Amino acid sequence: MKTIDNFNFAGKKVLVRVDFNVPLDDQFKITDDTRIRAALPTIHKILNDKGAVILMSHLGRPKDGPSEKYSLKHLVTPLSALLQKPVQFANDCIGEQAMKAAIGLKAGEVLLLENLRFHKEEEKGDPDFAKKLSQLVNNDNKGNGFYVNDAFGTAHRAHASTAIIARFFPEAKCFGYVMSSELTNADRVIKNAVKPFTAILGGAKVSDKIVILEQLIGKADNIIIGGGMAFTFIRAQGGHIGSSLLENERLDNALKIIREAKEKGVKLFLPVDAVIADKFSNEASRKTVAADAIPEGWMGLDIGEASQKEFAGVIAASKTILWNGPMGVFEMDHFESGTKAVALALAEATKKGAYSLIGGGDSVAAINKFGLASSVSYVSTGGGALLEYFESGTLPGIEAINFS
């Protein structure tokens, strides 16, 4: 793995692909700066080496070109505060203004480019667009340009800035600290897990987790399934789930996974009880019933206390733990208990020596909500990328650095 520690950036202009896709409120204020903070060590390494940093990222999913809502200019002030130095801004990521700013950038300075996805060519993986981006640092024919990919959250996309651009830096490219840390920690779970290995999967849909479930059946000792997706498994076995989430087209998949887990000696845990509600609201009437005996007109929105106790016991006996997806609608205070119980069990297991990896947007949001991010081993910044890495063993953004 070619990482940022293998290079000295003195006199270099470094184009860094970061993942600054952060949430903004109606006033364009950042509500969670986790991804920006994660990129700071990479930026500091280059600056400390006396290099110049040009940052490029996407923000949201703009559909029709530039817009105020998705402009990265809103990140300039908070980024400057975090870096404790002024950050310059280019109102485009290519073109005359961006090139002028890049050429004028001096060692120790930072330039942030405008949203890459304001150009449709970014998501199309357009080589000409990638070349224009590369020329921001490869413009003096002195070989001082360098490319660093530190955006694990988008490494599963073959976009211009994450995969295609690397071909314009045959030798001058590497992973930043976020990318290298993500890969090291992912490999620790999927390739070198200390047994017993427990995978906890939650969230709404079985369809989102089919492939990772199939992969984990060959690797994990225990698989815990919670959240809305659990009800498809319960219904597949003849249980009554009321108005709970159900993917009818995935019932056969659920039965296949149950069968394969049994054949391979993997213990599969489903909720035994559920906190149910008569409507999807924090203020709904609620009660706890058996997870396979939910009456019509009611829906499961969390796991119950018996499930929490059973899952916590499995977690406590584990040496390696992967958590992807909440146990219920944790955003609502009345249905956060199951997800909180899992988070607390993970923190306790970690304290006693287990290795715990948290991956996926909702799981990260949950661990942060309960103030436990510092109590687990590693919190991944890339949900979809992490799952795809587990599924395929590589990603376009990784291939671009290692093999292009």
CB contact burial 275-310 (16+ within 10 A = b; e otherwise):
bbbeeeeeebebebbebbebeeebbbbbbbeebbeb
Q: Give the residue ranges of the chain where pLDDT is below 70.
A: 140-143, 361, 404
Contact 24, 74 (CB under 8 A): yes
Give Cβ neighbours of residue 263 (< 8 Å, ≥ 6 apart): none
Q: What is the DSSP letter of 27?
A: T
> Distance (Å, rounded) from C-alpha 397 to C-alpha 404?
10
In whole angstroms, what separates CA 233 from the centre of its chain?
Answer: 25
> Distance (Å, rounded) from C-alpha 149 to C-alpha 162?
7
Domain 4-175: state its class. Answer: alpha beta
Instruction: State the span(s) of the chain assigned CATH 3.40.50.1260.
Output: 4-175, 183-392
> Distance (Å, rounded) from C-alpha 310 to C-alpha 269?
9
DSSP H helices in 116-223: 120-124, 127-134, 177-190, 210-217
Tokens of 382: 């890339």
Is the CATH number of domain 183-392 1.10.8.870?
no
> Distance (Å, rounded) from C-alpha 50 to C-alpha 105?
12
Q: What is the largest CA-CA distance in the chain?
A: 72
Residues identified as active-site: 35, 205, 361, 384
- pLDDT digit string (tens) for 115-127? 999 999 999 999 9
> Distance (Å, rounded) from C-alpha 152 to C-alpha 150?
6
Closest CA to 150 of 50, 68, 53, 39: 39
> Distance (Å, rounded) from C-alpha 71 to C-alpha 92?
10
